[in-house]
Structure 1
């Protein structure tokens, strides 16, 4: 055999060993930030695929809010605007965006509770992946859903008179407010879903809470139209400052106070939700 042939045959195993050694050392440790990020992405892709393949839920999450918005305009006309002196579209569009984010998150929470019953969470828990990766992936997929839904609803809102009068920056800020509110609510619902027993009546309870928030806010009518004893509650519940911030970003008006309330509510909900969610994952794995 020629010297060149010998060099090639002896060099191949060395190159393979070097590649395998490099690949092995490139694997991040289970609890590292790199593992959390790298493992969250494919799991988020899984969640998006599951969501897209569930056609009824997909249609309900993306199209039903837009149809509801148009129906509000057809049924109510400009009665709200005539009574309040404000264009009702600037309250209706932010309201429906937030409602769409909430009810879509309830569907995702229901799926999580169902997957807990199948033992999927237990199988994920024993794999060498970051403990927060699956929770993060579900929140990431919710962000994608909320972003797509928000863009669809803004397009539908254009048909009923919703306009951005403050420029591109505030328009992006409006979308970010919707994403922040949706992230907080999604994390809360996921924490409740993974902590509840399989088959628990999540939808009725979360639906009731969401309906109360939906009807007692400034989206349909100004705060001053509510009874005096109810006005402080309406003004400071999570949806109202988000709606008022989105209204100000679209049409102008006071911004700082309501934006601060949105930030506070977002942080508070995330803080009280993340630990119970992670503990719920651990409990779900051990109970299986």
Structure 2
């Protein structure tokens, strides 16, 4: 098959990106369980950590809810980025990308379309967690603008982490290996953070790692924007991490995808 693709302008490419993103989202209508990992999993995480650990870590579950909800939002964001790589690998192994190459569309549109679709699902998961949190008694300690800022900041980091999972999705030989590697790599990064407990409760040697963990910076920023506390420094660190991750993994992902398509 020829790799020749008509040159497509930026505006056209963006339109094709949103069309392909809509295609991915429409699949949910035929397979609602595809949204399960963005709906059931985060709620289970919140309920389990709140009612199993809340009484031991905080004076009450109500107090712990104010601490854990922003952390669970961040943790869930990190975990569900695995499905970006999983979906991309599925498209590659099933030959869907080969069909896209035969169409007069921007070569980057299928990739960005997949990422945009998953950002929409990420937004759904964040809003769902917030809704459940408010039903359980969570109270916003800042302003609605802070809440919007938290959502935007988490989505920016989700976009950055998605590029890591895109690279995994491209180099893995099948979707199962994407999940295996993704969760294995993300599990320690997420749990060695201040998502579940304050960093002050940890041993000194562990605090060093936790304080330099991008997940911790994002969790601090999310708490500051939702319940009050420092915002500027952790938010700036989160943005710096997002830029650095994107700058490293986006070019690597695109290059790896080009090589895989060229060899297919």
TM-score (ref. length: structure 2): 0.90
2:58 to 76, 81, 92: 81
2:240 to 253, 264, 285: 264
- Aligned mates of 2:171, 2:29 — CA distance in 1: 25
Structure 2: gaps (5+ residues): 1-5
Inter-CA distance 80–273: structure 2 relative to 1 (3 Å threshold): same
Q: Kindly indicate whether the alpha-carbon contact (under 8 Å) linking 1:73 and 1:160 is maintained by their aligned counterparts in 2.
A: no
Deviation at 1:91, TM superposition (A): 3.0
Q: Specify the alignment match of 2:217 in structure 1.
A: 241
Aligned length: 258
- Aligned mates of 1:263, 1:274 — CA distance in 2: 16
Q: Specify the alignment match of 2:30 in structure 1.
A: 53
Deviation at 1:108, TM superposition (A): 3.1
Q: Kindly indicate whether the alpha-carbon contact (under 8 Å) linking 2:54 and 2:64 is maintained by their aligned counterparts in 1.
A: no
Deviation at 1:270, TM superposition (A): 1.0
Measured on the aligned residues, the alpha-carbon RMSD in Å equals 2.0
Task: Say whether residues 1:40 and 2:17 are aligned partners.
Answer: yes
Task: Say whether residues 1:113 and 2:100 are aligned partners.
Answer: no
Q: Specify the alignment match of 2:263 in structure 1.
A: 287
Give the secondary-structure state (helix, strand or coil) at the position aligned to 1:78: helix
- Aligned mates of 2:174, 2:41 — CA distance in 1: 28
Deviation at 1:109, TM superposition (A): 1.4
TM-score (ref. length: structure 1): 0.83
Q: Kindly indicate whether the alpha-carbon contact (under 8 Å) linking 2:84 and 2:115 is maintained by their aligned counterparts in 1.
A: no
Moved over 6 A (4+): none
Deviation at 1:199, TM superposition (A): 5.3
- Aligned mates of 1:267, 1:189 — CA distance in 2: 16
Indicate the larger mover: 47-56 or 214-223: 47-56
Q: Specify the alignment match of 2:77 in structure 1.
A: 101
2:144 to 159, 168, 191: 168
Give the secondary-structure state (helix, strand or coil) at the position aligned to 1:191: helix
Deviation at 1:52, TM superposition (A): 4.5
- Aligned mates of 1:174, 1:52 — CA distance in 2: 29
